[in-house]
Structure 1
């Protein structure tokens, strides 16, 4: 009789565990949220730990190890570091911690040898449209570490007349972009161009370069060609992304015409042979989640064609489109797969998340910082913290609460009266502050030969 009872107990436990396991698998596989399962889901706990471990490994970060320079200090994480202005953090406390250790090492090598390129992709919305902020950051970095050239230019641009650092005059192109329904695998600029278009491209950042490399960036082709300054040039390479050198001389302008209607063209680039190359990738109205339309293989092809050493993502103001919003948990859910995809596709690249700047709405008859901004900043910082990425608080750096109002109302004004966008003067100030933060982080870098001693 007792054996029969024991068998029933074992059977009941086994059946219960099996049902519990099935529900755990279904909950994890289909992202079913049920509060009783949140803290005890068997599958989620295991896979979340594995996922975080893998992401940390891909991003060359181990929270239980010394910092990436090899120093022997004990590192302690501190999430509250995100509140500090004019400071790039990876949330580790310490006097000599590098937030951008891989980038700092490459800067050190460039500074020492004067050889090689360091390429930076700076993503953002209308806050950097027309090369605002990035034009000054590029200039400061190139002055410090060498290099010249405006970098990437799209084949066609609606804000070409606004941009001071380059000229893009083009016509005849068919365009797809992030906002088109069903569109996918645009370039990382958010655009792709095709058809029998033409254009004239000019780099205005330098007038008499000793030598300037001009590249065309395009997608898969089947023996296509272009006219470059009146000469027919066959397109080489048939990768998802190709970067072909068109010329290397002191010319700062050229003309291009497509002879193939079905090849996706992405842009051109003006670059020095060595030094800093900073590409502006602005797209008005986005938040970063739009990169879900670009798959991982395409991102890996981008990195293969043009190796990026630092990726900067500056988003946020477009999440503040309703004055009383305070919950941005949906952004965490939508942005997490984007960041994971970038971490996997650019495994040896530092990624810096730049927070939203200040944005104001009218409350009780006067403009004040958006109610939800503190929550948004914490959400963005938590994304960086959870994914072992670096973080820069742009809101606090520009002065914190009501800074956009103060910037817009002071004389001379540093922001527009839309209480959203810093103007050219304000963007220059933010660029200088970010540059100094990068330099402070760089100065914490200890070359491996020194740390070995």
Structure 2
């Protein structure tokens, strides 16, 4: 009798399981849905999980094309005039977010695309970036010089802007113990005043003027003769002060403790390219800016492309060939940038050529090939785009040739391209960006 009862229980469970299973399959196949039944649906969790895993895999594949099993070739870093992520397939678009935004602006004439261009003295005074900005704005729209610091000691030869500031207390990358300067490498405080002029625009163009500052704490500034209360208690805040045809602004801080970073002069739509030059650095200085601060920068400014052009300052001795220290210090910087700017394309631009005197003749630094390989390896490891500036300008001893030709394209320090030379490099970078953009295939409904 006991065994017979067990058999009945097993039979009942089997029949119920069969009914539930058939109903689960039918509900999935014909789209039948009833909330109480969904809680006991035997297959919905399986398919939801698979869908979720598929979605996550798709996101990973989009953010990291290596997940798409694309074959790579590290040696591509040696090619001139090429922005690469080391994919053998040369038809793959390697700056997808940047290209999608370019396509949107080109198609609609609406929206802003913001570029942060970091570098050392090679881009000081808006060299290179002024030409790149002009080329991009001509093709995709927009005007305005972008970010200007409130004070600088190196702006006397800048053609695109005038920066006159006084009374500011300055903190920068080179100060011991300094932390969380703006991404320009500077932070200003005190009761300083500044007169800033955008020289790149015509008198008829309407310019939006945004002040960038830290925790306002109820502070204010005097802007063109009127007191303006500042809002925002984030690490980085952006406030529109005016939108008019005035290309010159005069402002004074009324709050000594409030950090002030600079002002952006920009059009309502189009390309905005910010020059962030800092003499003598290599990029590792960004270790002094923490991830939360970088996230606050992105929340206030929304960069679509970040360019980092460094390298020549690693070659401060003619015989230096080991750059493992640079890898060690740059890895956490790049990891931090990837986390703080997850939807932003990041492009590493390699060192340009630099020469030292060997046996009475100026020649390319013996350690420069190692610098290039080190920078390319960092780009490869962190899934960043890479552009070989050294090979693009002509490779070995090109800086010597540039300095000696008539008219010269470089100074006879055999380090710095001059204004004509940086114009050439800007055109090369622009052409490489456009070449990659032409590989982009619109995929989103908006783009289509």
TM-score (norm 2): 0.85
What is aligned with 1:236? 231
Q: Greater CA radius of gyration, 1 or 2? A: 2
Deviation digits for residues 332-355 of structure 1 (CA, Å, limit 9, x no counterpart): 110000000000000000000000
**1:170 aligned to which of 162, 165, 172:** 165
Q: Is 1:290 aligned with 2:293? A: no
Paired with 2:294 and 2:349, the residues of 1 have a C-alpha distance of 21
Tell me whether 1:400 sits opposite 2:403 in the alignment: no
C-alpha separation between the residues in 2 aligned to 1:88 and 1:210?
A: 33
Task: After TM superposition, give the deviation of residue 449 of structure 1 in Å.
Answer: 6.1
Question: What is aligned with 1:357?
Answer: 352
Q: Secondary structure at the match of 1:92?
A: coil
Instruction: Check conservation: 1:414, 1:423, Cα contact below 8 A.
Output: yes
In 2, the alpha carbon distance for the partners of 1:390 and 1:397 equals 15
Which of these residues, 153, 157, 176, is aligned with residue 152 of structure 2?
Answer: 157
Q: Is the 8 A contact 1:314 1:353 kept in 2?
A: yes
Q: Distance in 2 between the 1:94 and 1:171 partners?
A: 53
Distance 2:90 2:391 in 1: 21
| Residues paired across the two proteins, number | 391
Give the deviation of 1:57 after TM superposition: 4.4
2:64 matches 1:61: yes
Distance of 1:210 and 1:176 partners within structure 2: 34
* Equivalent in 358, 370, 375 of residue 375 of structure 1: 370
Deviates more, 1:208-217 or 1:235-244: 208-217
Find the residue that maps to 1:302 and give its secondary structure.
helix
Identify the residue that residue 322 of structure 2 maps to in structure 1: 327
Give the Å deviation of 1:210.
3.1
Distance of 2:319 and 2:332 partners within structure 1: 27
Deviation by residue 1:195-226 (Cα, 9 ceiling, x = unmatched): 00001100000122431100100001211110
Distance, in Å, in 2 between the alignment partners of 1:227 and 1:377 is 48
Cα deviation digits, residues 164-216 of structure 1 (max 9, x gap): 10001110000000000000000000000000000110000012243110010
Which of these residues, 90, 100, 108, is aligned with residue 103 of structure 2? 108
Q: What's the TM-score once normalised by structure 1's chain length?
A: 0.84
Contact 1:59 1:350 in 2 (8 A): no
Decide whether aligned partners of structure 1 residues 59 and 283 sit closer, same or farther in structure 2, where only a CA change above 3 A counts: farther
Tell me which residue corresponds to 1:348.
343
The within-5 A match list for 1:134-153 is: 134-153=129-148
* SS at structure 2 position matched to 1:91: coil
Specify whether residues 283 and 403 from structure 1 end up closer, same or farther in structure 2 by C-alpha distance, changes over 3 A only.
same
**Runs of 4+ in structure 1 over 6 Å off:** none
Contact persistence 2:60–2:67 (CA under 8 A)? no
Change (3 A) 1:324 1:440: same
| Aligned equivalents of 2:382, 2:284: Cα separation in 1 | 16
279 and 269 in structure 1: CA distance in 2 versus 1, 3 angstrom threshold = same
Please tell me whether residue 443 in structure 1 is matched to residue 438 in structure 2. Answer: yes
Q: Give the superposed CA RMSD.
A: 1.7
Gaps of 5+ in 2: 1-55
2:176 is aligned to 181
The residue matched to 1:63 in structure 2 has which SS?
A: helix
Structure 2 counterpart of 1:200: 195
Q: Any conservation in 1 of the 2:61–2:68 contact (CA below 8 Å)?
A: no
